[in-house]
Amino acid sequence: MSEANFETDLITLPRFLLDNLKDIKCATGEFTLLLNALQFAFKFISQTIRKAELINLVGLAGHANSTGDEQKKLDVLGDEIFINTMKGSGNVKVLVSEEQDDLIVFKSEGGNYAVCCDPIDGSSNLDAGVSVGTIVSIFRLLPGSTGSIKDVLRSGNEMVAACYAMYGASTHLMLTTGNGVNGFTLDTNLGEFILTQKNLVLPPSREIYSINEGNTKYWDDSIKQYINKLKGEDDVNAKPYSARYIGSMVADMHRTFLYGGLFAYPADSYKSPNGKLRLLYEAFPMAFLVEQAGGKAVNDKGERIMDLTPTHIHDKSSIWLGSKEEVDKYLKHIGKK
């Protein structure tokens, strides 16, 4: 730090990757190039979202995606940006996107990675200018694979990296390569992600819960009871938790990473009998990041998210994740602790 607290020794994402190369188990030159391509996709999507209203990019595209959600124009554009960037990197062989029914296998030579992504998560919030994000999980191809569905229908434990970008007041990037979590903030003047949260640790507990309580009538009794307990309804002396729900997983989780608390999207008997969030590109990467920051991630039954294996690329899961003690309290409630 020099005069007037002006930082002159910035750690950019490329510098961070070079400095930490030896500590990153999957780090090859190819992996570093892949992360560089990813950060370009995040910058491109971030800039596109920021000017969306001015260039007629708000509103619906007029069709639905693989999971039946109405696609926004920005969902389609974000997906295109992501696919083209991954294809252009030459380091990705297999791509799964929330916006594509099928897995994509790039025909070009090379590429030893499989990338799964939700290009714009929380897109129902887009037209209101609320924070949204991109979520990504990365697997190395199976030995000898030339790219197939088997490269992604694997346990979460096999991910080599996960990250999300959140497009909010600033653009943030949270990254794990299995050696802790580091957070970066986009300096739009420099066009670089700058390290701002080194070795981020999730607060071990915090009285905040984040859940779409409008679905209460469709929840199992056990879940209703647990949320009532957090609100202190069964104990006049208990201090109620605060409720915080943005409706963009990335934004709700970004707050949880920084402040602590619990985020959940349980199964319900009406809209989401298996939960709403997709394993490969929502639940897995967030669970990996949360665990690497000292937190926990489980499903309604208390099974560790990272131990699950999808049978289809768009499989969903219920999820409870965040501060270790908050997830442990839920596990105790369901008799798993």
In the complex, which residues of this chain contact ligand AHM (CB under 6 A)? 69, 98, 118, 121-124, 212, 247-249, 265, 276
Nearer to Mg ion, 118 or 192 (CB): 118
Nearer to ligand AHM, 117 or 195 (CB): 117
- C-alpha 102/C-alpha 123 separation (Å) is 20
**Among candidate residues 84, 171, 95, 98, the one with its CA nearest the CA of residue 133:** 171
- C-alpha 180/C-alpha 202 separation (Å) is 11
**Residues 241 and 209: beta-carbon distance below 8 Å:** yes
Nearer to ligand AHM, 11 or 166 (CB): 166
Nearer to ligand AHM, 140 or 255 (CB): 255
Angle at 138 between CA 20 and CA 91, to 5 degrees: 80
Residues 6+ apart with CB under 8 A from 109: none
Least distance to Mg ion, CB of residue 151, Å: 21
Least distance to Mg ion, CB of residue 276, Å: 9
Nearer to ligand AHM, 226 or 265 (CB): 265
Least distance to ligand AHM, CB of residue 290, Å: 14
State the residue for tokens 């394993």: 279
Nearer to ligand AHM, 263 or 330 (CB): 263
212 binds, among Mg ion, ligand AHM, none (CB under 5 to 8 A by kind): ligand AHM
- C-alpha 329/C-alpha 314 separation (Å) is 29
Q: How far apart are the first and last CA of the chain?
A: 47
Neighbours of 9 (CB within 10 A): 7
- C-alpha 264/C-alpha 319 separation (Å) is 5
Residue with nearest beta carbon to Mg ion: 121
185 binds, among Mg ion, ligand AHM, none (CB under 5 to 8 A by kind): none
Least distance to ligand AHM, CB of residue 272, Å: 8
69 binds, among ligand AHM, Mg ion, none (CB under 5 to 8 A by kind): ligand AHM
Nearer to ligand AHM, 192 or 252 (CB): 252
Nearer to ligand AHM, 165 or 195 (CB): 165
Least distance to ligand AHM, CB of residue 247, Å: 5
Q: What is the chain's alpha carbon radius of gyration, rounded to the nearest angstrom?
A: 20
- Binding to Mg ion (CB under 5 A) within 46-85 occurs at none
Nearer to ligand AHM, 137 or 248 (CB): 248
Count residues binding Mg ion (CB under 5 A): 2
**Residues 254 and 261: beta-carbon distance below 8 Å:** no
Q: Given strand 171-176, what is the order of strands in its sheet?
A: 104-105, 92-97, 113-121, 132-140, 161-167, 171-176, 181-187, 192-197
State the residue for tokens 């507990």: 205
Least distance to ligand AHM, CB of residue 285, Å: 12
Least distance to ligand AHM, CB of residue 8, Å: 38
Least distance to ligand AHM, CB of residue 256, Å: 11
Residues 6+ apart with CB under 8 A from 187: 10, 193, 194
158 binds, among Mg ion, ligand AHM, none (CB under 5 to 8 A by kind): none
- Binding to Mg ion (CB under 5 A) within 92-121 occurs at 118, 121
Least distance to ligand AHM, CB of residue 327, Å: 17
**Residues 112 and 121: beta-carbon distance below 8 Å:** no
Give yes or no for residue 151 binding Mg ion (CB under 5 A).
no
Partnered with residue 167 across adjacent β-strands are 132, 171
112 binds, among ligand AHM, Mg ion, none (CB under 5 to 8 A by kind): none
Residues 6+ apart with CB under 8 A from 86: 37, 41, 92, 95, 106, 115
- Give the interface with Mg ion as residue ranges (CB under 5 A): 118, 121
